[in-house]
Amino acid sequence: MISRLDYLRAADDSVTDSDVLRLALQHAMAELGALGGCVHVRGGGGEFHLVSSAGLPAASVRAWEVLPADSASATARAVNCDGCAWDPPGSRPADALAPPAGSAGRAAVPLHDAEEGIGALTLLTGHRGQPSAEDWRFLRQIAGWVRARLTARPLPGPAAPAPAPGTGPAAPEATVPDGAHTLARALWEAEDAVLRVDTAWRITAANPAARALLGSPDEVAADRVLWREPGPWRTPDAEERCRLALARGHAAGFDAVLPATGRCHHVRVLPATDGAVVHVMEAGPWRLRQADEVAAIRDSAERARRTAELTAALAAARTPQDVVEAVAARVLPPFAAQGLLVLVREGDRLAYIGSVGYPRAFLEHMGGTHGLPLTGRLPAERALLRDEPLFYSSREEWLADNPHGERPPSTMQAWAFLPLTASGRTFGVCVMAFDAERRLSPEERTLLLTVSALVAQALERARLSEAELTRARELQRDLLPRHLPRLREATATARYLPAGQGADVGGDWYDLIPLSAGRVALVCGDVMGHGLSEAATMGRLRTATHTLAALELPPDELMGHLNDIVAEIGPDAYATCLYALYDATTGTCTVVRAGHPPPLVVHPDGRTAYPDIPDNPPLGGAQPPFETAELALPAGTLLFLFTDGLVESPQRDLDEGMDELARLVEGADRRDLDRLADLLVERLLPGGQPVSDDAALLVGRLHALPRADMASWRLPDGPRAAGEARRHVREQLATWHLDELTVTTELLASELVGNVVRHAKGPIGFRLLRTGALVCEVSDASLTMPRIRRASETDEGGRGLQLVSVLAERWGSRFTSSGKTIWTEQPLAPSQDTVAAALLSLADAD
């Protein structure tokens, strides 16, 4: 008993009045083992009002709400007699508490102020006997604690507590402000609705007028949430206004019109210590007009806001589908529409470009994106051809206006057909549909026509932008290699994915360039930025790379020339590039990169690594010379060249993406390069499309040229060198079973070796290679490159390189670390008339 009181006395000042009564009841019930309890206070007319209860069923609470002043119950006797009162189990005075109280004992202690008893705390004790002296003492102490906590604060009812005289020392007295009883009675009998809610907006008390407004005139709306009950707080924005008033701690008022009655009410919210008091009064016709004006202003402001949002969304729309989504999100909800269909004229057909709320079967019936022939039978066609809106508020109106046309979709009940006109041309129609009958007001129709004008302008811009983007992407695809060449030196596959829908084209590119003497170049680059100019720059760089590679320039010199090209475009032009030159005769790969991610190397045994390759600045901002790295790569090695769009995203930085690429390659089947490339794109780019950047991937498997397909010799200086070269040609081609190429190759070897003997210096190297073609190479220590010229009729020489250009399919020269190499290339199955054609060409030249 002492511990309970100590616990109660430890409660801080934050405990509300309602919690004070609830705690008192709970501890009293626990101490005496009671079934339930309640607190009543005296009203202005002497009657007793229920203000708090615990452990009691709802039916009993309603029955004990008000007790007469002269009630014979223990509750009334405790107050009237200023002492403790007891009703034994089974006793039931005529006006005592309703069942099940008749089968339970009832113990009541008074609550009083300095002058009179104003209320009582009553416990239903069950079948146990009258409380002991110790029990009565505890109950009086509980009553004293309640009075002390509520000193200078009125009870949540008409009175405040006081102890019972004659049963122990009197507790400190509580006071009630003068006139409180009269005021409480006036609020109870007022014509205006007054109710009290707690901080969770549960209704804790309501006068009769408020109960009538709530639709419960004969019962207390206990523990019911205000927003779930009928009344002006169910109107738009009412809940937000009420909550804002309570949160700010300041009174607030607003007008609300009840849809059921059309009456205007003024709602006043008064924040209180443990909740709020809500006062509702019915306003006159002038207030209703004022409310209508305020509502009209609010609606106008809301329409302006939505129109501004729609305008901004349409301005940002890049594709027709973006336009459709913007309209669906911002136009359908305020008009309570469920369907949207946008149709455009494509020649003599009507095709849809976007829809919301229509089943797939209906869209297929409309011909899909191919559309339907224009026949004039559909309302949408008539609205388009006549440039006039059509509004049907019901299916009957549709059928009456279209007796021989298409029947309306079964899922819709009302429609608005809005022509789309831009630049003086009506090119489409926007169809809004409703799943219930809907008659649009003149103001709503005018607003929809305004919206359709905005949609038409946005749609026209989006279609033009999409057409331009399509042309740009077609140009970009034309600038990229359509097919990679099939080479003995490397097997390769590539993937290119443009940025996500609505993004500009980018400047990513890749290439596989066959060179002389069993060499091949693998290239990957990325022009920084997006747009048509970047795509054009990419085309220029790819063409330049092909040209410079064909000149047999070393990788660092080639990159220097590309840097000059980008720098000439403009100060803001930059590009990254990776150039890997692989020699199948030696198994070496020379790599240079400018601001580009390094290649991923996968060795034949499955080991993966990003080799340490010097990173030069991006093209356009670099200063030659470019640093290179030389890698020894055995046959079967895989090289992965890629742009940052493949591995980098807003959710993943470049290093994480590169690690993920290596992990995926290690765990994948690497035998089929096409499947491997598809797997990498699928895993690294969810959905198969980059979000904001293009992505390029080039995968190459490197092959070594077999020793049996290579033969090289050191030739003597002087006139004997040409003869030695011809002998080596005859013997080697016989070994390779290429005897049909012997005569042509002897002529080529004689000319190349003779040029070295006459114009250069030794030592002289001679090499034959059987790759996809027959390659004949002659090397010397001179840095002077041969130059083909047209000999005059009187010249005794100068026709050797003319003969070479006719006999060989390709020929060229390149610098080496010790001089230069001149090479020729012939197909392995030449025509029989090659030599004759060469001799005839020389004769024509003479």
pLDDT tens per residue across span 308-357: 888 888 887 777 888 888 888 888 888 888 888 888 888 888 887 888 88
Q: Are residues 637 and 713 in the same domain?
A: no
292 assigned to some structural domain: no
Among 415, 434, 463, identify where a domain stops.
Answer: 463
Q: What is the CATH number of the domain that holds 265?
A: 3.30.450.20
In this prediction, what percent of the chain has a pLDDT beyond 70? Answer: 81
From residue 536, alpha-carbon distances to 117, 251, 527, 618, 726 in Å are 97, 67, 10, 18, 49
Q: Which of 365-379, 486-500, 732-746 has the highest mean pLDDT?
A: 732-746
* Residue 414 near residue 401 (C-beta atoms within 8 A): no
How far is 75 from 108, CA to CA, in rounded Å? 6
pLDDT of residue 241: 78
Q: Is the peptide bond before 100 cis (omega within 30 degrees of 0)?
A: yes
Give per-residue pLDDT as tens, 224-268: 888 888 888 887 778 877 877 776 677 888 878 777 777 778 888
Pair 494, 627 in one domain: yes
Q: Is the pLDDT of residue 221 over 80?
A: no
Question: Which residues have CB under 8 Å from 384's CB, separation 6+?
Answer: 343, 345, 350, 419, 426, 428, 429
Q: Which residue has the higher pLDDT, 140 or 478?
A: 140
Instruction: Kindly state the average pLDDT of the residues 809-828.
Output: 87
Question: How many angstroms separate the CA atoms of 295 and 303, rounded?
Answer: 12
CATH number, position 336:
3.30.450.40
Shared-domain flag, residues 394 and 267: no
The maximal CA–CA distance of the chain, rounded, in angstroms, is 152
Strand order in the sheet with 48-54: 66-67, 48-54, 36-42, 117-126, 105-112, 85-87
Q: What is the pLDDT of residue 640?
A: 97
Q: Give 388 or 534, the one with higher predicted confidence.
A: 388
Question: Each residue of 585-601: pLDDT tens digit?
Answer: 999 999 999 999 999 99
What's the CATH code of the domain at 594?
3.60.40.10
pLDDT digits (tens, 9 = 90+) for 17-37: 667 777 888 888 888 888 888
Give me the CATH number covering residue 811: 3.30.565.10
768 pLDDT higher than 90:
yes
Torsion sign, CA atoms 136, 139, 144, 145: positive
Q: Which two tokens stand for residue 127?
A: 């079948």
CB 728 within 8 A of CB 777: no
Q: Contact, 578 vs 596, CB < 8 A? A: yes
**Tens of pLDDT along 258-284?**
777 777 788 888 888 778 888 888 776
Say if residue 419 is in the same domain as residue 563: no
Q: Which of 441-450, 521-530, 629-638 has the highest mean pLDDT?
A: 629-638
pLDDT mean over 107-112: 85
With respect to residue 184, please indicate whether it lies within any of the assigned structural domains.
no
Q: Which helix (H) or strand (E) holds 715?
A: strand 710-715
Q: Which domain holds residue 243?
A: 190-283
- The answer to whether residue 265 sits within a structural domain is yes
Residues 541-551: tens digit of each pLDDT: 999 999 999 88
Structure tokens at 524: 């990957």
DSSP letter string, 503-537:
PPP-EEEEEEEE-STTEEEEEEEEESS-SHHHHHH
On whether both 763 and 776 belong to a single domain, the answer is yes
> CA torsion 457→460→466→468, rounded to 10°?
-110
With CA atoms as reference, report the closest residue to 459 among 608, 321, 652. 321
Q: Confirm whether 472 is domain-assigned.
A: no
As a whole number of angstroms, the distance between CA 400 and CA 382 comes to 15
Q: Are residues 683 and 718 located together in one domain of the fold?
A: no
The answer, yes or no, to whether residue 174 has pLDDT greater than 50, is no
> If pLDDT is split at 50, 70 and 90, which confidence band does 464 have?
confident
Q: Which of 97-101, 155-159, 194-198, 597-601 has the highest mean pLDDT?
A: 597-601
Q: Which of 346-355, 425-434, 495-504 has the highest mean pLDDT?
A: 425-434
Which two structure tokens, joined as six digits, stand for 595? 């601001």
Q: DSSP labels for 383-410? A: HHHHT--EEESSHHHHHHH-TTSPPPPT
Q: Lowest-pLDDT range, 204-208, 307-311, 529-533? A: 529-533
* Within-domain flag for 524: yes
Q: How confident is the model at residue 172 (pLDDT cuts 50, 70, 90)?
A: very low
Predicted pLDDT at 164: 35
- Run of H or E residues at 186: helix 180-189
Q: How confident is the model at residue 75 (pLDDT cuts 50, 70, 90)?
A: confident
On average, the pLDDT of the chain sits at 80
Find the radius of gyration of the CA atoms of the chain: 48
Q: Is the pLDDT of residue 1 over 70?
A: no
CA 240 and chain centroid, separation: 29
- Is residue 661 within 8 A of residue 629, CB to CB? The reply is no
Give pLDDT, residue 288: 57
Average pLDDT over residues 677-695: 78
CA distance 541 to 471: 20
Lowest mean pLDDT among 42-51, 277-286, 555-564, 718-727: 42-51
CA distance linking residue 215 with residue 235, whole number of Å: 16
Report the percentage of the chain scoring pLDDT > 90: 25
- Which of 670, 702, 734 marks a domain boundary? 702
Enter the DSSP assignment of 649: B
Between 327 and 189, the more confident residue is: 327
Q: Please state, in angstroms and rounded to a whole number, the distance separating the CA atoms of residues 33 and 408.
A: 71
Are 510 and 481 in contact by the 8 Å Cβ rule? The answer is: yes
- On whether both 455 and 592 belong to a single domain, the answer is no
Strand order in the sheet with 490-497: 490-497, 695-702, 638-642, 600-602, 608-609
590, 541: one domain: yes
Query: Rounded distance, CA 751 to CA 754, Å?
Result: 5
Residue 778 confidence (pLDDT) above 50: yes
Q: How many whole angstroms separate alpha carbon 483 and alpha carbon 487?
A: 12
Assess whether 636 and 751 both reside in one domain: no
Amino acid at 622: A
Is the pLDDT confidence value at 795 over 50?
Answer: no
User: What are the structure tokens assigned to 616, written together?
Assistant: 């030069």
Q: Alpha carbon 626 to chain centroid distance?
A: 42
Would residue 697 count as lying in a domain?
A: yes
Segment among 94-98, 384-388, 687-691 with least mean pLDDT: 94-98
What's the pLDDT score for residue 159?
34
pLDDT at 157: 42
State phi, psi for 547 to the nearest 5 degrees: -65, -45
Beta strands in 83-222 (DSSP E): 85-87, 105-112, 117-126, 193-198, 202-206
pTM: 0.54
- Same structural domain for residues 335 and 424? yes
CA atoms within 13 Å, Cβ hemisphere of 50 = 21
User: Which of 197, 372, 173, 363 minimizes the C-alpha distance to 275?
Assistant: 197
- Give me the mean pLDDT over the 10-15 stretch: 69
State how far the alpha carbon of 362 is from the alpha carbons of 352, 428, 433, 507, in Å.
11, 19, 13, 41
Higher-confidence residue of 171 and 455: namely: 455
Task: Say how many CA atoms lie within 13 Å of 105 toward its Cβ.
Answer: 15
Query: What's the pLDDT at 389?
Result: 92
Question: Do residues 695 and 713 both lie within one domain?
Answer: no
Among 651, 678, 702, residue at a domain's last position: 702
* pLDDT value at residue 781: 86
Q: Which residue has the higher pLDDT, 438 or 220?
A: 438
CB 584 within 8 A of CB 771: yes
Calpha distance 444→239 (Å, rounded): 27
The tally of domains found in the chain comes to 5
C-alpha 713/C-alpha 729 separation (Å) is: 11
Q: 731: pLDDT confidence band, cut at 50, 70 and 90?
A: very high
3-state secondary structure 777-836: EEEECCCCCCCCCCCCCCCCCCCHHHHHHHHCCEEEEEEECCEEEEEEEECCCCCCCHHH
113 vs 459, which has greater pLDDT? 459
User: Does a structural domain hold residue 288?
Assistant: no
Q: How confident is the model at residue 2 (pLDDT cuts 50, 70, 90)?
A: low
* Ramachandran category for residue 414: left, alpha or beta (phi over 0 → left; psi -120 to 50 → alpha): beta
The pLDDT assigned to 18 comes to: 64
What span, in angstroms and rounded, lies between the C-alpha atoms of 384 and 379? 9
Euclidean distance between the first and the last CA atom of the chain, given in angstroms as a whole number: 133
- Cα angle: 790, vertex 792, 795; to 5 degrees: 110
pLDDT, tens digit, 9 for 90 and up, residues 359-384: 777 777 665 556 677 877 788 888 88
Helix (H) or strand (E) holding 497: strand 490-497
Residue 432 and residue 499 in one domain = no
* pLDDT for residue 161: 35
Q: Domain for residue 254, yes or no? A: yes
Q: Which two tokens stand for residue 389?
A: 């809106």
